[in-house]
């Protein structure tokens, strides 16, 4: 009976040691995976921003015929309101 308990403790000790080594490997590769994920996210933001800087003016030019009537209408309304208000009052001079 004593021999079986010693053998059981030996097996459980080996199992615990192997599980601890596995835990260390898992934590190490998990941290390496987080590092690669952060680097990938940063590169994605950088290259996505560059692609947006390239694509946004092209999209704006492509949508210009669609938006031009609205832009002209807003400009006409702004001009009418500006003319109706008259000249802007001058600010008093700062005397110090």
User: Containing domain of residue 36, as a range?
Assistant: 9-85
Question: Considering the domain boundaries, does residue 1 fall inside one?
Answer: no
Q: pLDDT, tens digit, for every residue of 29-45?
A: 999 999 999 999 999 99
Structural domains in the chain (count) = 1
Question: Considering the domain boundaries, does residue 3 fall inside one?
Answer: no
Question: Considering the domain boundaries, does residue 14 fall inside one?
Answer: yes
Question: Considering the domain boundaries, does residue 33 fall inside one?
Answer: yes
Looking at the chain, the whole-number percentage of residues with pLDDT higher than 70 is 98
Question: Considering the domain boundaries, does residue 16 fall inside one?
Answer: yes
Q: How confident is the model at residue 95 (pLDDT cuts 50, 70, 90)?
A: low
Q: pLDDT, tens digit, for every residue of 1-20?
A: 889 999 999 999 999 999 99
Q: How confident is the model at residue 90 (pLDDT cuts 50, 70, 90)?
A: confident
Q: Tell me what the pLDDT averaged over the chain comes to.
A: 92
d(CA 95, CA 93): 6
Which secondary structure element, helix H or strand E, spans residue 60, and what is its range?
A: helix 2-85
Phi, psi of 75 (to 5 degrees): -65, -40
| Residue 94: both structure tokens together | 């700062």
Question: Considering the domain boundaries, does residue 96 fall inside one?
Answer: no
């Amino acid at each position: 009976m004593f021999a079986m308990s010693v053998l059981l403790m030996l097996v459980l000790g080996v199992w615990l040691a192997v599980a601890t080594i596995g835990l260390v490997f898992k934590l190490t590769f998990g941290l390496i995976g987080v590092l690669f994920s952060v680097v990938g996210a940063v590169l994605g933001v950088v290259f996505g921003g560059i692609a947006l800087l390239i694509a946004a003016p092209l999209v704006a030019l492509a949508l210009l015929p669609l938006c031009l009537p609205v832009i002209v209408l807003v400009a006409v309304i702004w001009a009418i309101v500006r003319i109706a208000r008259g000249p802007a009052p001058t600010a008093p001079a700062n005397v110090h």
